[in-house]
Amino acid sequence: MNASVVLQQVVNGLTIGLIYGLDALGFTMVYKALNVLNFSHADTLTIGAMLAYTMVVGRGLAISLAIPLSVVVMLAYGVLLERGLFRYFRTASRTTFMLVSISVSSFVRNTGLLIWGPQPRALPPVFGEGLIKWGDIVLPERNFYIMGIALIALAVMQTFFYRTKLGLAMRIAAEDAETAELMGVRVHVTRAATFAITAALGGIAGMLVAPLFSITLELGASLALKAFIAAVVGGVGNLPGALGAGLLLGLLEALCAGFISSGYRDAIIYATGIAVLAFRPMGLFQRYVAKH
């Protein structure tokens, strides 16, 4: 087996795995805060990709400016979604909440169809087309830009949760909302912040995946399914587990595509998810979840 080919597939796997991990964090954060799944989160990835295309191609902005602007838009979108709709279903059953989130997803896709139309789009090579060569190893520079931005986003999120009062309040509210309210935490604010941050994470994932795939209104649904698998395999409610499982799925997908067949990679991913849950129903990191 050629070592250079293996390394190329590992880099590809880490790149897409970080994107899966970012998106999986969105599913996990809402579940941890509300104990329900928000299926409309899948569309934040589509919105992020479409925003990147609109700003870069439609408005001629540099990607270095398009990304922070899109993040601001996604933060506002998350707050609007929670304040304008989901807060009215906080006390509803899980089934009702999930049905509402599915309805929101359908509404977002149909609205996107009116705004952007059904035709696929392609983002120009915003991260360049350069190659990193080291002996027989040839790696595209864009992968390292994408991984770097994803890691920066994760570092910012980590700093926010552990270095700010709002981040601390969100962590307390996610563990026990009733106790948090007795401690003076404004839980309604932390929930709005949770939706804002998860929307931003999904949007960043969409902007990072846009240079790798054709941008369609179904992009979010197809990739978010794998991110959802990562969230479940990592242990729903376990943030490090979601990220770790996203990386594992990305590596598995890339290695399967490189050494077995790209036609089987999705089937292998789904089969792996089923196998993991068959033997570890709480996910790969169930002991970690049990301790926390």
pLDDT band for position 287 (cuts 50, 70, 90): low
Stretch 150-159: mean pLDDT, rounded? 93
CB atoms under 10 Å from CB of 184, counted, come to: 7
pLDDT band for position 235 (cuts 50, 70, 90): confident
Answer whether CATH 3.40.50 is correct for domain 3-291.
Answer: no
Q: How far apart are CA 105 and CA 57, in angstroms?
A: 25
Residues 6 or more apart in contact with residue 3 via CB below 8 angstroms: 136, 137
Residue pLDDT, tens place only, 191-229:
999 999 999 999 999 999 999 888 998 888 888 889 988
Q: What is the pLDDT of residue 268?
A: 86
Q: Is the pLDDT of residue 21 over 90?
A: yes
pTM: 0.89
Q: What is the pLDDT of residue 290?
A: 42
User: What tokens appear for 276 in the block?
Assistant: 């993991």
Q: How far apart are CA 46 and CA 56, in angstroms?
A: 15
Q: Is the pLDDT of residue 263 over 90?
A: no
Residues 6 or more apart in contact with residue 1 via CB below 8 angstroms: 259
Average pLDDT value over all residues in the chain: 88
Q: What is the pLDDT of residue 1?
A: 57
Q: What is the pLDDT of residue 289?
A: 43
pLDDT band for position 288 (cuts 50, 70, 90): very low
CA Rg value for the chain: 19
* End-to-end CA gap in the chain: 42
CB atoms under 10 Å from CB of 206, counted, come to: 30
Question: 128 in the Ramachandran plot: left (φ > 0), alpha (ψ -120 to 50) or beta?
Answer: left
Q: Which helix (H) or strand (E) holds 32?
A: helix 3-34
Helix intervals (H) in 85-213: 94-116, 141-163, 165-175, 177-182, 187-209
Domain residue ranges in the chain? 3-291
Measure CA 39 to chain center: 12
Residue pLDDT, tens place only, 24-52:
999 899 988 888 889 999 899 999 999 99
Half-sphere exposure of 192 (CA within 13 A, CB side): 13
User: What tokens appear for 116 in the block?
Assistant: 């952007």
Q: What is the pLDDT of residue 286?
A: 59
pLDDT band for position 291 (cuts 50, 70, 90): very low
